[in-house]
Amino acid sequence: MNLLLQPFATPHETFPFDKIKNEHYLPALRKAIAAGKAEIDKLVENPAEPTFANTVAALDRAGMLVERVSTVMFNLNSAETNAELQKIVKEASPLLSEYGNDIRLNAKLFQRIKAVYDRRDELDLDAEARTLLEKTYKSFARNGANLNEGEKARLREIDVKLSDLSLTFGENVLNETNAFLLEVADEKDLAGLPEFVREAARLTAKEKGKDGWAFTLQAPSYIPFMTYAENRDLRKQMALAYNSRAFKGNEYDNRDIVRQIVDLRHARARLLGYATHADFVLEERMAESAGKVTDFLGEMLDYAKPVAEQQMQELTAYARTQGFAEDKLQRWDYAFYAEKLKKEKYAIDDEMLKPYFKLENVIDGVFAIAGKLFGLRFVENKAVPVYHPEVTAYDVTDESGNFVAVFYADYFPREGKRNGAWMTSYRDQRVLDGRDVRPHVSIVCNFTKPTETKPSLLTFDEVTTLFHEFGHALHGMLSRCCYGGTSGTNVYWDFVELPSQIMENWCYEKEALDLFARHFETDEPIPQELIAKIVASANFMEGYATLRQLSFGMLDMAYHGKAQPVTDVAEFERQAIQQTSLFPDTEGINTSVAFSHIFAGGYSAGYYSYKWAEVLDADAFAYFQEKGIFNRDVARSFADNILSKGGSEPPMELYKRFRGQEPSPKALLKRSGLLSQ
Please give the positions annotated as active site.
469
DSSP 621-677: HHHHHHH-TT-HHHHHHHIIIIITTTTSS-HHHHHHHHHSS---THHHHHHTTSS--
How far is it, in rounded angstroms, from Cα 466 to Cα 443? 8
**Structure confidence at residue 366 as a pLDDT band (50, 70, 90):** very high
Residue-range domain boundaries for the chain: 3-146, 180-243, 355-538
Q: Are strands 430-432 and 422-427 parallel, antiparallel or unpaired?
A: unpaired
Closest CA to 620 of 660, 672, 563: 660
What's the start-to-end Cα distance of the chain, in Å? Answer: 65
For residue 311, how far is the Cα from the chain centroid? 28
Which of the listed CATH numbers 3.20.20.10, 1.10.1370.40, 3.40.50.2000, 1.20.1250.20 matches domain 355-538?
1.10.1370.40
- Looking at 430-491, list the stretches that DSSP marks H as alpha helix, in order from N- to C-terminal side: 460-477
> Which residues, including other chains, have CB under 8 Å from residue 222's CB and lie 6 or more apart?
215, 216, 238, 242
How far is it, in rounded angstroms, from Cα 487 to Cα 425? 11
> Which residues, including other chains, have CB under 8 Å from residue 285's CB and lie 6 or more apart?
492, 493, 494, 606, 609
How far is it, in rounded angstroms, from Cα 256 to Cα 165? 10
What are residue 409's DSSP bridge partners?
Answer: 392, 443
Helix-, strand-, coil-residue percentages of the chain, each rounded to 5: 60, 5, 35
Q: Is the model's pLDDT at 671 over the cut of 60?
A: yes
pLDDT, tens only, 87-112: 999 999 999 999 998 998 899 999 99
**Mean pLDDT estimate for the chain:** 95
Separation in Å, CA 227 to CA 140, 199, 234, 449: 49, 16, 12, 18
Q: Is the model's pLDDT at 272 over the cut of 90?
A: yes
Count of beta carbons in the 10 Å neighbourhood of residue 42: 11
Q: Is the model's pLDDT at 1 over the cut of 80?
A: no
- Rounded to 5°, angle at Cα 297 from 494 and 543: 105
Give percent of the chain with pLDDT exceeding 70.
100
527 φ, ψ to 5°? -65, 150
User: What pLDDT sits at residue 601?
Assistant: 87
Sign of CA pseudo-dihedral 599, 604, 610, 613: negative
Give percent of the chain with pLDDT exceeding 90.
92
> Which residues, including other chains, have CB under 8 Å from residue 322's CB and lie 6 or more apart?
337, 340
pTM for this predicted structure: 0.86
For 650-675, what is the mean pLDDT?
90
Tell me the angle at which helices 331-346 and 290-321 cross, rounded to the nearest 10 degrees.
70
Cα torsion through 216, 222, 226, 229, rounded to 10: -50
How far is it, in rounded angstroms, from Cα 447 to Cα 461? 10
Tell the CATH topology of 3-146. Glutathione S-transferase Yfyf (Class Pi); Chain A, domain 2 (1.20.1050)
Q: Is the model's pLDDT at 677 over the cut of 60?
A: no
DSSP strands (E only) in 350-461: 377-380, 392-397, 403-410, 422-427, 430-432, 435-437, 440-444
Please answer whether residues 39 and 63 qualify as being in contact, where contact means their C-beta atoms are separated by less than 8 angstroms: yes
Closest CA to 503 of 407, 643, 348: 643
Please answer whether residues 425 and 439 qualify as being in contact, where contact means their C-beta atoms are separated by less than 8 angstroms: yes
One-letter amino acid for residue 651 of the chain: P
Please answer whether residues 465 and 445 qualify as being in contact, where contact means their C-beta atoms are separated by less than 8 angstroms: yes
**Structure confidence at residue 675 as a pLDDT band (50, 70, 90):** confident
How far is it, in rounded angstroms, from Cα 137 to Cα 119? 12
> Which residues, including other chains, have CB under 8 Å from residue 174's CB and lie 6 or more apart?
81, 418, 419
User: What pLDDT sits at residue 125?
Assistant: 97
Lowest mean pLDDT among 19-33, 389-403, 641-655, 661-675: 661-675
User: What pLDDT sits at residue 136?
Assistant: 97
- Biggest distance spanned by C-alpha atoms of the chain: 82
What are residue 410's DSSP bridge partners?
Answer: 444
How far is it, in rounded angstroms, from Cα 136 to Cα 122? 18
User: What pLDDT sits at residue 674?
Assistant: 87
Separation in Å, CA 67 to CA 148, 254, 383, 441, 568: 28, 29, 24, 15, 38
User: What pLDDT sits at residue 676?
Assistant: 65
Separation in Å, CA 166 to CA 189, 282, 422, 593, 661: 39, 20, 18, 12, 39
Closest CA to 549 of 308, 331, 222: 308
DSSP 544-583: HHHHHHHHHHHHHHHHHSS----S-HHHHHHHHTGGG--S
How far is it, in rounded angstroms, from Cα 22 to Cα 89? 10
> Which residues, including other chains, have CB under 8 Å from residue 398's CB and lie 6 or more apart?
375, 376, 377, 404
User: What pLDDT sits at residue 611?
Assistant: 92
How far is it, in rounded angstroms, from Cα 428 to Cα 184? 46
pLDDT, tens only, 298-346: 999 999 999 999 999 999 999 999 999 999 999 999 999 999 999 999 9
For residue 532, how far is the Cα from the chain centroid? 30
